Amino acid sequence: MRKHLPIALLLAFTAAIFLATSIRPSLLDDADATHAEAAKEMIERDDWVTLHVNGVRYLEKAPMLYWAVAASFRVFGFNAFAVRFPIVLAIALLAFVAYRFGRWAYSERAGLYAAAILASCVGMFLFTRVMIPEALLTLWFTLAHYCFLRGFFGEGKEKRWYYGLYAAIALCVLTKGLIGIVFVAGPIGLFLLLTRTLLSEISHLRLGAGALLFLAIAAPWHLLAGFRNDRFFWFYFVNEHFKRFVGTREPKDYNRVPFVFYWLMHLLWLFPWSVAVPLLGSQKPAINRKAERERLINLYVWLWAALILVFFNISTSQEYYTFPVYAPLALLLGAAFTKAEESAQAQRYLLWAQGALAFVALIAASVLGALVWKARNIQPTGDLSDLLNQAPSDAEQYTLSLGHFFDLTTSAFAELRVPAIGAAISLGIGFLLAFLFRWRKRHARAAAAMFVTMGAMFVCANLAQQKFDPVLSSRALADGIQKRWEPNAKIVFNGEYETGSSIAFYTNKQVLLLNGKVTGMAFGSTYPDAPKIFLEAEDVRRLWQGSERIFFFTEDSKKERALKAIEGLAVYSLANRGGKSVLMNRP
């Protein structure tokens, strides 16, 4: 039992942190609440094949995460925690699989490092705040690669691990489409070619039985979706896969991450463990089949990581697209940390790196403390948006995960006192302790201090995110609408559905869209069964003059143009928060 205590504590702490940060804040506008709505309508329609959002077919996504969230809704009800629970479960399982992978491939300590890196790196927290399938996808990828290597190095009955490979690939495909094949078959093919083992191993790969297992798991949904939805195969495979890869997908609702940013930001996503990146040179690969097992595993893991990074470097790339690369890099970093702790020369680097982290952390803690002190006389209002600078010179900055970070002003820290002070204390103490442990060569305690510090930072970040709730979510506006709701009332959005998707989720009402036949609604709107929810300016004017109460939601930056549709008519304000407003046609 004592042998399993470290991983048990690691997983328990991981689960506690991510569960605690999953209750709040509210679901965010854009992808978060939109995807949650698709899972909710899956239950309401009792249709587990064709996704719908706001009653419109939503055919661009694979179903696995939506199935998981729909099942979670059945248990926990329609709320933010239910949306995030499957992702939390995926994170914990991913950490466990990484531990087993690292322990088998390298050592017990390397496995613990790999699990800790995945569970506590910045990217893991940042990109699991929204309902996207990356954590679940990375779990299946890691399991697939683990099964392949166990089968490759195994003998006799151990070749049965290959069946797990095919099952995991099928789950990848059901989670995010054809990259589930590319990012597994690619490294395997290159590895077998480079080690000249393709011909000798192909007879053990159980290709026939494996293909049948893959099809039994992956094919039914695709066939049913194609049978029930005309043009599904073209839209899903051609538009959403191939045309997305080359950057010609329609509609174009994404941006490409700049080249330098794409590569360098991985140091932030893997922070604080990325301090060991210079040590990755110790993880030397080998292409000779007779080389030691660890170097062959290194070759495979390097190929796994490189294919993902190169693929998205030449394709359309969002920050979170390379999330699956965290797993192979965590394995390599875990092995590098372990080797460094056994080498006197590398230990000196670790000590200096840990010292640099402590120095930077103390500076960051001092800056946070100074900002809180400077805002000490500012009275909090409960709405952080009042204290932000939301007039960026480049509107595209909000497509970045840290886009709203640049909105912060000194005054904003009046609202962020508690999380800022908590972060300052966590940074100041945690990384300093880690340095002292490194100095005394108590490496396990140093790693544990970093891991716990990041957990505390995640809690502080979650508290800060709750303060951003009025900006990132429209939950408060949804509550205001519900309080004034009347029979036959209607909600109209100015523009695309995603701008206020949390209103639709929390009110549980179908919304009408003014000039909203765009982005995720565009293709579904072409089906004959699409609901009559798409409006033009004259439709809004007619509704505004009718006998039913109309709630008109708009971003403030688009309000003046929207009001032209009802120019000359009475307009009453219901609420304004976070740069968004709800107007009414009645007092």
| Residue 410 confidence (pLDDT) above 80 | no
pLDDT in tens, 173-195: 999 999 999 999 999 999 999 99
Query: pLDDT per residue over 317-346, tens digit each?
Result: 678 899 999 999 999 999 999 999 999 889
**What is the predicted pLDDT for the residue at 406?**
58
Burial of 522 (0-12, 13-18, 19+ CB in 10 A): middle
pLDDT at 257 over 90: no
* pLDDT beyond 70 at 1: no
- Check whether 405 has a pLDDT greater than 80: no
Per-residue pLDDT at 400: 57
Element (H, E) at 573: strand 572-577
Give the model confidence (pLDDT) of 72-81 as tens digits: 999 999 999 9
Select the more confidently predicted residue: 390 or 34. 34
Element (H, E) at 151: helix 134-153
Question: What ranges do the domains of the chain cover?
Answer: 2-337, 347-467, 475-584
Stretch 252-277: mean pLDDT, rounded? 86
Q: With H, G, I as helix, E, B as strand and everything else as coil, classify residue 491.
A: strand
Whether the bond into 251 is cis, omega within 30 of 0:
yes
How confident is the model at residue 315, as a pLDDT? Answer: 78
Using DSSP's 3-state secondary structure scheme, residue 513 falls into strand
Output the pLDDT for position 47. 97
Residue 183's closest CA among 196, 199, 171? Answer: 171
Of these ranges, 34-43, 406-415, 466-475, the one predicted with the greatest mean pLDDT is: 34-43
Q: Lowest-confidence range among 111-115, 311-315, 393-397, 538-542? A: 393-397
The pLDDT mean for the chain works out to 93
Average pLDDT over residues 282-291: 88
- The residue ranges of DSSP E strands in 298-453, in sequence order, are none
- The pLDDT, as a whole number, for residue 403 is 55
Summarize pLDDT for 506-543 with one digit per residue, the tens: 999 999 999 999 988 999 999 999 999 999 999 999 99
Q: Helices 443-467 and 417-439 meet at what angle, rounded to 10? A: 170
Which band of pLDDT confidence, cut at 50, 70 and 90, is reported for residue 407?
Answer: low
Give the model's confidence band at 393: pLDDT under 50 very low, under 70 low, under 90 confident, else very high: very low
391 or 232: whose pLDDT is higher? 232
Average pLDDT over residues 263-278: 95
> CB pairs under 8 A, 24+ apart, for 1-9?
6/112, 7/96, 7/99, 7/111, 7/112, 7/115
pLDDT at 110 over 60: yes
Instruction: Give pLDDT, residue 251.
Output: 73
- CA-to-CA distance for 360 and 366, rounded, in angstroms? 10
Residue 268, both tokens: 């932030």
Whether the per-residue pLDDT at 442 is higher than 50: the answer is yes
Residue 504 and residue 4: Cα distance in Å, rounded? 46
Q: What's the gap between Cα 482 and its chain centre?
A: 30
Rounded-to-integer distance, Cα 290 and Cα 92, Å: 36
Best CA proximity match to 83, nearest among 28, 147, 10: 28
Q: What is the C-alpha to C-alpha distance for residues 57 and 70, in angstroms, rounded to an integer?
A: 17
Distance CA 462, CA 481 (A): 26
